[in-house]
Amino acid sequence: MQSSVDAAREAVRQARSIVVLTGAGVSAESGIPTFRSNGGYWQTQRFQDLATPEGFARDPKLVWTWYEERRRGVAAANPNAGHYALVELEKRAGRFALITQNVDGLHERAGSKNVIRLHGSIWVVRCLTCGVEQMNYEELNDLPPSCECGGMLRPGVVWFGEQLPDGAIERAVDEVKLADIVIVAGTSARVYPAASLIPLAAQSARVIEINPEATDYSEDVTWSLRGTSANILPRLL
Ligand code: BV8
Ligand code: ZN
């Protein structure tokens, strides 16, 4: 595998425009559970209950308990070497965009600047009544939390069946089309439309996949590197 990492690093060094797509796997080495790999959330719980508008309408307290638990976990975690390698890559690349499915904010905490968040942020709350959206890092004890207007707050994330934030996927598509190199790290490539960026990238860029396991797109990428993001991303610098 070393020769593939060497070839991938050389391609990154020569690239003028780099795009990175990340998923929950890049936060795994910060101690944050993933969804579908071992120990992932969807192995013990149903996404229909926790990550859909219907699930929230049915039991907002249950959904908020899960999100507040995740908020506390992320607040206690730190970015890992993979996050920091992407910050360094952004400094070195001519043109750079980081597209993430993650809602934990660890990329931003590490110092990444140009981040396109496809699924929102666990640190944003939105009022169901007045629609006000704001950052909130407080420990929420009284669940579900209420807005000043008295309305119920929901997490500012995109659930299954919900549209992505206005313009997010369009911006991501534009960035992918401009890239020489697309790095896909820590995603099972199961959730759309995020996953559709991978075959799109393969049409016009060289694609580096970083994942301990194969995905549906491992055959379509230029280099499919079997390993963890905290180990491999720094080796691409
Ligand atoms: C949409 C909320 C238009 C935020 C998430 C039928 C009806 C309705 C919709 C659909 C349908 N069929 C398909 C759809 C579309 C649906 C979808 O894709 N469903 C899938 C399950 C088939 N998508 C949507 O609904 C999207 N909206 O399409 O709107 C529309 C509207 C109405 C009707 C139709 C279309 C919205 C999708 C967003 C859902 N929100 N989460 C949150 O709380 O986090 S998805 C959730 O999965 C997270 O956001 C997460 O980021 C995302 C993707 O998962 P991954 O990040 O890839 O994480 P995962 O655990 O899966 O994989 C981790 C990987 O890391 C593994 O491969 C593992 O091997 C690897 N790994 C582990 N350790 C490491 C590592 N890699 C590197 N290093 C390590 N150390
Ligand atoms: Zn309100």
Tell me: the pLDDT tens digits for 180-196?
999 999 999 999 999 99
Ligand 2 centroid, distance to 208 Cα (angstroms): 44
Nearest-atom index, ligand 1, CA of 228:
78
Q: Is 103 in the pocket of ligand 1 (CB under 6 A)?
A: yes
119 catalytic? Reply is yes
Ligand 1 atom 8 nearest Cα: 161
Tell me: the pLDDT tens digits for 41-77?
999 999 999 999 999 999 999 999 999 999 999 999 9
In angstroms, the CA 205 to CA 178 distance is: 8
Tell me: the pLDDT tens digits for 104-124?
999 999 999 999 999 999 999
Q: Is 101 in the pocket of ligand 1 (CB under 6 A)?
A: yes
Nearest-atom index, ligand 1, CA of 50:
43
Give the global pTM. Answer: 0.97
Q: With 90 as the cut, is the pLDDT of residue 2 above it?
A: no
Nearest-atom index, ligand 1, CA of 210:
77
DSSP characters for the chain?
A: -HHHHHHHHHHHHH-SEEEEEE-THHHHTTT---SSSTT-GGGTS-HHHHSSHHHHHH-HHHHHHHHHHHHHHHHH----HHHHHHHHHHHH-SEEEEEE---S-HHHHHT--SEEESSEEEEEEEETTT--EEE--S---SSS-B-TTSPBEEEEEPPTTSPPSTTHHHHHHHHHHH-SEEEEES--S-STTGGGHHHHHHHHSEEEEE-SS--TTGGGSSEEE-S-HHHHGGGG-
Q: With 90 as the cut, is the pLDDT of residue 1 above it?
A: no
Ligand nearest to the CA of 152: 2
